[in-house]
Amino acid sequence: MSMVSQIDSMAIESKSNGIIIIMKLDTLQQTNQINAWQAKTGWFYLTIFNTKGDSANIKPDIIPREIKELQIIDIKESTQIGIKINEPIEDYNFIYNDYNQSITANLFYSIKYFAKQETKNQKVKEINRNDRIPYRNNWLYRFSIFMMILGVANESGSLEKSYTKAGASLFFSAFIFSILSS
C-alpha cells in the first residue's frame, strides 16, 4: 500500500493565457500522479492520486472570476478538483517542487482564445493612446513650460532669455519625440 499525502492548501490564480493551481502538500512523493481532462460540459478536472484533501480546509478564500464553480472531492486515496470555466483548457502541465512540497498545475486556454484576448487588449491600448493629449502628463513638457515661464517672467537679464530658449527647445524636442514614439 502506498503512502498517501495530505493537501494542506490550494491557491488559484488567473492569468491572461490560463489558470494556475498551486497545491501545497505535507509530503511530495514520486507516486503523486495527476490525471487531467476537459469535459464537454465546461468542467475541467484534475485527479491527484495518492492524496487526501479536506475540501473545507483547502478551498481557496479567493477564487478568480473566470472560474464559475469549484468542486473539491475527496475520493479513496485521491483528490479530484473540478473547475467550471467559460473557455476550455487546451493544454496543461504539472510542476513538482520538492523544495516547498508543492504541485503547480498550469492550465492553458486555447491559442484562439488567447489571440482574441490579445486583440481586445490591443484595441483598448489604441483607444487609450488616441484619447490622451501627449503633453498632459509628461514631466519633460512640464519642465520645459516652467523654464519658458521663468525666462518670460524675468526678462531683465540675458540668463533668463537663455531659460526661455532652452525651455522652447525642450518643448519642441519632447513634442517631436512623442510623435516619433507613438
pLDDT tens over the chain, length 182 residues: 568 889 999 999 998 888 999 999 998 877 668 899 999 898 999 999 989 988 888 999 889 998 999 999 998 889 999 999 888 899 999 999 989 999 999 999 887 766 666 666 665 555 555 555 554 456 666 777 777 777 766 666 555 567 777 777 777 777 777 777 65
Q: Determine the pLDDT at residue 172.
A: 74
- How many alpha carbons fall within 13 Å on the CB side of residue 136? 6
Strands (E), the chain: 5-15, 18-25, 34-38, 43-49, 51-52, 67-75, 78-85, 89-97, 102-109
Whole-structure pTM value: 0.62
Q: Determine the pLDDT at residue 116.
A: 67
Q: Determine the pLDDT at residue 168.
A: 77
User: How far is CA 67 from its chain centroid?
Assistant: 15
Q: Determine the pLDDT at residue 159.
A: 53
Would you give the DSSP letter of residue 30? T
Q: Determine the pLDDT at residue 169.
A: 79
Q: Determine the pLDDT at residue 45.
A: 95
Q: Determine the pLDDT at residue 31.
A: 61
Choose the CATH number for 5-117 among 3.40.50.970, 3.30.565.10, 2.60.40.3500, 3.40.50.300. Answer: 2.60.40.3500
Cβ neighbours for 137, distance < 8 A, ≥ 6 positions apart: none
CB 49 within 8 A of CB 4: no
